[in-house]
Structure 1
Amino acid sequence: MRVTERLQALFGPATQGDTKAPVVHKHDVFESASQEDLEHFVVETDAEGHHYGVRKEAD
Structure 2
Amino acid sequence: MVIVFEVDSVAEAERYVGRFPLTKKGFLEWTYVPVMAPLPIEALMDRSVDVAEPYDRTR
Please indicate the TM-score interval, normalised by the length of the shorter structure. Answer: under 0.3
Structure number with the higher strand fraction is 1
Q: Of the two, which has the highest radius of gyration?
A: 1
TM-score by length of 2: 0.20
